Amino acid sequence: MSRTVVLATRNPGKIREIAAVLGALGISVIGLDDWPDVPEPAENGATFGENARHKARYYANATGLWCLADDSGLVVDALDGAPGVFSARYASDRCEPAANREILDKANNAKLLEALADIPEEKRIARFVCHLALADGDKILLEAKGAIEGQIGFEEMGANGFGYDPLFFVPEKGCTTAQMSPETKNDISHRGKAVRQLAEQLGKMPPGTQTN
């Protein structure tokens, strides 16, 4: 397969993770930095799937390319599923409107730790969830989902990854996802699982749809 797909994000971490998988299929993955004037769509869906489909259609039409949109988030049982679909902007009320991703990530993690301050270790169960949608204009071509179970730690650990990775502890690995190598994380992560599922589906698409 030979195709350029735009990933509906300006997050370099997400671009690296997804490109590492789809690159093996001959797919070139680019982010939204080539379209700086395209405004972000409102993400007001009630589920990860609704948001992913909306973003995929929006950016596919804006760029004229196939668009792969990822809506991912952290679901914490003790917080009744929060931050959920609001994961990326969980603490946006604590930041300046123009705050960069690093500042937002720090604020999100701090707010999460505060929300779980009185929750014991055995009840800090959580999972990362990812929903992917691939669109060609208004048409959704493929969808895929992935999840990884873990628990929220009491302090940030690790310098790899992004977002809630420094707090997301995976018991089977004995470390947070921010302490894992990119390769290990991709092997077990919610996004890695979803992208591999999507890649498998892409490989089964009719030949006429696989090239520009």
DSSP 81: T
DSSP 39: P
Structure tokens at 116: 């779980």
Q: How far apart are CA 9 and CA 129, in angstroms?
A: 17
Out of 70, 71, 105, 165, pick the active-site residue: 71
Q: How far apart are CA 8 and CA 61, in angstroms?
A: 12
Element (H, E) at 3: strand 3-7
Closest CA to 38 of 79, 72, 18, 10: 10
For residue 27, the one-letter residue type is I
Q: How far apart are CA 107 and CA 101, in angstroms?
A: 10
Determine whether 118 is an active site residue: no
Structure tokens at 199: 């890649």
H/E/C letters for each residue in 73-103?
EEEEHHHCCCEHHHHHHCCHHHCCCCCCHHH
Catalytic residues: 71
